Amino acid sequence: TAIFVGDLIDRGTEQLRVLEVAKAMADAGTAQVVMGNHEFNAIAYATESPAGSAKYLRPHTDKNDNQHRAFLEQLSGAQRAQYLDWFMT
């Protein structure tokens, strides 16, 4: 069994591929995945608080926008939602 110890996303041009492989392995029972701080930050960046307020748990500052840019650019909105939901399982 492989163990992914978080930080599946953050840098690089293959973040979607990393997520596809890790999730497929976890779904097949051949891997365990632990959420890292980058996945946690992505969830907070995407989560409005309170809902509908346009304010987020992780503020949309220039610094945070830059940190999440590669993830946001490499995945469609539907893909991001799917993987953010998966991070929380």
Residue 73, pLDDT score: 94
Report pLDDT digits (tens) over 18-64.
Answer: 999 999 999 999 999 999 999 999 999 999 999 999 999 999 999 99
User: For residue 2, what are the β-bridge partners?
Assistant: 31
Q: Residue 3: which pLDDT band, with cuts at 50, 70 and 90?
A: very high
Residue 83 makes CB contacts below 8 A (sequence gap 6+) with 19, 23, 75
**Domain segments of the chain as ranges:** 2-87
Report pLDDT digits (tens) over 61-84.
Answer: 999 999 999 999 999 999 999 999
Residue 31, pLDDT score: 99
Residue 29, pLDDT score: 98
